[in-house]
Amino acid sequence: RPARDSRPGPHTVSVVAHRGASEDAPEHTLAAYRKAIEDGADALECDVRLTADGHLVCVHDRRVNRTSNGRGAVSALELSDLAALDFGSWKGRTTDKEEPDRDSRDSTSVLTLERLLELVADAGRRIELAIETKHPTRWAGQVEDRLLALLRRFGLDTPPPGAPSPVRVMSFSARSLNRIRSGAPALPTVYLMQFMLPRHRDGQLPAGVRIAGPSIRIVRNHPDYVLRLQRAGHRVHVWTVDEPEDVELCVRLGVDALITNRPKRVLSQLGRS
Ligand code: G3P
Ligand code: CA
């Protein structure tokens, strides 16, 4: 399909807040997601991991060391251990103006996926969720099974017929996406790619996947690859797109979604704020 007009057009590209509005607030916290919603993001991205007692929490790294005042692997800690940690102060003050009362503590404590789903349900407008499964092989399917059970509970595992799904599942692991599709065949899946590998070149994705998730590095170095994906009928969601020239490139190529740490700035560049 031909490249779209290079001028950013309204609503041609979905703006996805990567780990929330994570440039302004500590990643994967309620504060970051509330800010992204306030900023007008179309969708929220989050990484999910399983705690030792089987809860899905929104944490990127294997360990909590970088983003909290604690130490250790998420998979070795229980939810109550994580709840005692501060996931906000590593980034300085949060966007909350008030003194650290109970509400602002909640806004920077560990975020469960369940709480994030509640936030989205109560947002008062449509917001999509792009959920990434992290290290799914370690748990041999447990992350996907828990995720599917939770989505089912919220009525999000089967999109309404003919309407776009409010949730999609992303992964670097084709096996993980396969497991999701086995449990929820209508749920869209996104195959993430960090580097351009020979097996990617023909524009084909793992069986059943309709959305490609190339890194901005792939898009910069191989813009023709985006066209190949589009010609093969795939949608394209690019991460992590923070620089104005990258936003412009993605718009010029007609990608479907930009995953960014700076939703407010990107929306402004697109003329949407
Ligand atoms: O949105 C995809 C992107 O988040 C993948 O990389 O490391 O930020 O999870 P990472
Ligand atoms: Ca991610």
Active site (catalytic) residues = 18, 60
What is the whole-number distance in angstroms between the Cα of residue 60 and the centre of ligand 2?
Answer: 7
Q: What is the pLDDT of residue 46?
A: 98
Which CATH entry fits the domain spanning 14-269: 3.40.50.920, 3.40.50.970, 3.40.50.300, 3.20.20.190?
3.20.20.190
Q: What is the pLDDT of residue 218?
A: 97
Q: What is the pLDDT of residue 89?
A: 85
Condensed to tens digits (0 to 9), the pLDDT of residues 197-232 reads: 888 888 899 999 999 999 999 999 999 999 999 999
- Listed as ranges, residues in the chain with pLDDT below 50 are 1-11, 94-101
What is the whole-number distance in angstroms between the Cα of residue 132 and the centre of ligand 2?
Answer: 6
Q: What is the pLDDT of residue 103?
A: 57
Q: What is the pLDDT of residue 90?
A: 84
Q: Is the ipTM of this complex over 0.85?
A: yes
**CB of 47 closer than 6 angstroms to any ligand 1 atom:** yes
Atom of ligand 1 nearest to the CA of 47: 9
Q: What is the pLDDT of residue 104?
A: 62
Phi, psi of 233 (to 5 degrees): 90, 10
Q: Is this prediction's pTM over 0.90?
A: yes
Of the candidates 161, 153, 154, 123, which has an alpha carbon nearest to the alpha carbon of residue 42? Answer: 123
Condensed to tens digits (0 to 9), the pLDDT of residues 137-157 reads: 566 789 999 999 999 999 999
Q: What is the pLDDT of residue 9?
A: 47
What is the whole-number distance in angstroms between the Cα of residue 262 and the centre of ligand 2?
Answer: 15
Beta strands in the chain (DSSP E): 14-18, 43-50, 56-58, 128-133, 167-171, 189-193, 211-214, 235-239, 257-260
- Cα maximum dimension of the chain: 54
Pocket test for ligand 1, best of 14, 16, 19, 45 (most atoms within 8 A of CB): 45
**Would you list the domain boundaries of the chain?**
14-269
